[in-house]
DNA sequence: TCTGACTAGTCAATTTTATGAGTAAGGAGA
DNA sequence: TCTCCTTACTCATAAAATTGACTAGTCAGA
């Protein structure tokens, strides 16, 4: 039941449409949760039915109409309860790690190709997160913003996203280096 | 369909029983994937049916009998194909980040409690991974092991697990510091 | 001797996520 | 003009993961 809380948390920054939400939860961003559009629209419907968010129709001229949602008081209470409850630990669940686990039994070049791709992807997200952070803090230095900037929640989660992707990139690069060095030395010994 | 490859990868190190597998995939370890026992037993059944692993019954005296599984040639081929195919990017999906995203709207002390708990959990896994790595490399230094140690796959994924948990711990601690500092200064201004 | 933990699993039900396919309109570029 | 991209969604189905309960014997410690 954490998707619902993720949606609530995302809506705290102000009214959003389902479509706008999908933009935050998709491939590119998703600095604190990830979900498919279908899941989000379904969750929005449920949240509204449960009174945790309220939607209003916005008529648009040269665009399809949209519905903007905002968190209700009941929604805030729900979030507070969720925050007080124990969080499940976060686990790694990553295709790429499965492939590396099997490194001794699969083709090294294929593995390196995957690692390079992931490193590039991570770098892309890194740049994006960096931009987002700059945007949030505006003129201020990071320290200044962390001391008194507002809202701080999205900034903090973005910092985690940044560190995570940096971790991904660095590990991929190091792993490539290691695998290449081993491939060279095993070739020499043949 | 990545759980099946995760199981295959885990069995590369040698025969394991379902129960032993659950130990690797549970809370404590899970350095490259995480899954519940029920999922693992179900997957083992499917893998055997598909001929990707072979099981043999081991009769035990003062313990229930067990079935040990090992990867077949077909299983290796399957893993090779999997490795060559594009990996899905790994996303963050973490209760705790949802809570922090809502930091501006929930009780700071409750949040800090969650962050402390997570930091402690991460430290626990950190210690565990450190032990696992020492175990794998034995007498050798890390550099020596990385250059020629065998098997290298599990070592590399464990390094990623270590970095991930270090990232968790550091971010939790930093976030706590930031939130505390902000709480103090906002109290002063009241 | 009783309790709880460990080994070694299984069954059923539900929830959560992912995949694939559609609708419908406007605007930008080749 | 044709095609693709973006906004703004919906429906249906399949796959993956979680939750809870249950069996059954062994061993160690209070």
Domains with residue ranges and CATH for chain B = 2-84 (1.10.10.10), 95-188 (no CATH)
Considering only residues A28 and B43, tell me which one the structure prediction assigns the higher pLDDT. Answer: B43
Give residues 114 to 153 of B whose Cβ lies within 8 Å of A: 114, 117-118, 121, 146-148, 150-153
Give the mean pLDDT of B121-148: 95
pLDDT for the residue numbered B1: 82
Nearest residue in B to A110, CA atom: B84
For residue A53, what pLDDT is reported?
97
In the β-sheet with B53-58, what is the strand arrangement from edge to edge? B16-17, B66-71, B53-58
| pLDDT beyond 80 at B137 | yes
Interface touch B95/A88, C-beta < 8 Å: yes
Q: How many helices (H) and strands (E) does chain B have?
A: 8, 3
Torsion of CA A90, A91, A95, A100, to 10 degrees: 130
Query: CB < 7 Å to strand C — which of 3-42 in chain A?
Result: 3, 34-36, 38-39, 42
Chain A hits for B157, Cβ within 8 Å: 97, 100-101
B18-34 pLDDT, tens digit each: 999 999 998 778 889 99
Nucleotides of C under 7 A from a protein CB: 7-13, 15-21, 24-27
Which residues of chain A have a CB within 8 Å of the CB of B185? 147-148
Task: Tell me what pLDDT residue A24 has.
Answer: 92
Q: What is d(CA A58, CA A64) in angstroms, rounded to the nearest whole number?
A: 9
Is the model's pLDDT at B132 over the cut of 70?
yes
What is the residue-averaged pLDDT of chain B? 94
Q: Which of A92, A100, A153 sits opposite B156 (nearest CB)?
A: A100
Q: How confident is the model at residue B190 (pLDDT cuts 50, 70, 90)?
A: low
- pLDDT grade for B8, boundaries at 50, 70 and 90: very high
Q: Assess contact for B115 and B177: CB atoms under 8 A.
A: no
- Spell out which residues of chain B touch residue A118, defining contact as CB-CB under 8 Å: 87, 89
What does A91-159 look like in DSSP terms, one character per residue? ----HHHHHHHTGGGS-HHHHHHHHHHHHHHHHHHHHHHHHHHHHHHTTS-HHHHHHH-S--HHHHHHH
Give me the residue from A2, A88, A106 closest to B80, CB to CB: A106
pLDDT at A108: 97
Q: A39: which nucleotide lies closest, measuring CA to C1'? A: C17
What's the pLDDT score for residue B30? 84
pLDDT on residue B114: 97
Q: How confident is the model at residue B189 (pLDDT cuts 50, 70, 90)?
A: low
Confidence band for B42, pLDDT divided at 50, 70 and 90? very high
> Which has more confidence, A143 or B64?
A143
Query: What is the average pLDDT across B132-153?
Result: 96
Task: Tell me what the pLDDT averaged over chain A comes to.
Answer: 94
Mean pLDDT in residue range B165-186 = 96
For B95-128, write each residue's pLDDT tens digit.
999 999 999 999 999 999 999 999 999 999 999 9
> What is d(CA B138, CA B133) in angstroms, rounded to the nearest whole number?
8
B46 Cβ contacts chain C strand, under 7 Å: no
Q: Which residues touch strand D (CB under 7 A)?
A: A 17-20, 23, 37-38, 41, 45, 60, 63-67, 88, 91, 93; B 1-3, 34-36, 38-39, 62-64
- Return the SS3 of B16: strand
Predicted pLDDT at B91? 87
Query: Which residue ranges of chain A lie beneath pLDDT 50?
Result: none
Is B102 within 8 Å of A33 when comparing Cβ atoms?
Answer: no
């Amino acid at each position: 039941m954490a998707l619902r809380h993720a949606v609530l948390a995302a809506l705290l920054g102000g009214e959003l449409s389902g479509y706008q939400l999908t933009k935050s939860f998709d491939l590119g961003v998703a600095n604190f949760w990830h979900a498919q559009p279908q899941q989000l629209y379904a969750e929005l419907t449920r949240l509204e039915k449960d009174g945790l968010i309220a939607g209003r129709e916005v008529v648009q001229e040269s665009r399809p109409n949209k519905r903007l949602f905002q968190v209700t008081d009941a929604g805030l209470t729900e979030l507070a309860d969720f925050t007080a409850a124990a969080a499940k630990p976060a686990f790694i669940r990553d295709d790429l790690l499965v492939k590396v686990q099997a490194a001794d039994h699969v083709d090294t070049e294929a593995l390196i190709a995957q690692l390079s791709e992931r490193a590039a992807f991570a770098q892309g997200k890194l740049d994006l997160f960096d931009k987002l952070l700059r945007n949030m803090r505006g003129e201020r230095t990071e320290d200044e913003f962390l001391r008194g900037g507002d809202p701080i929640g999205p900034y903090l989660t973005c910092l985690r996203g940044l560190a995570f992707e940096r971790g991904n990139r660095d590990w991929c690069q190091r792993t490539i280096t290691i695998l290449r060095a081993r491939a060279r030395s095993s070739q020499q010994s043949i």
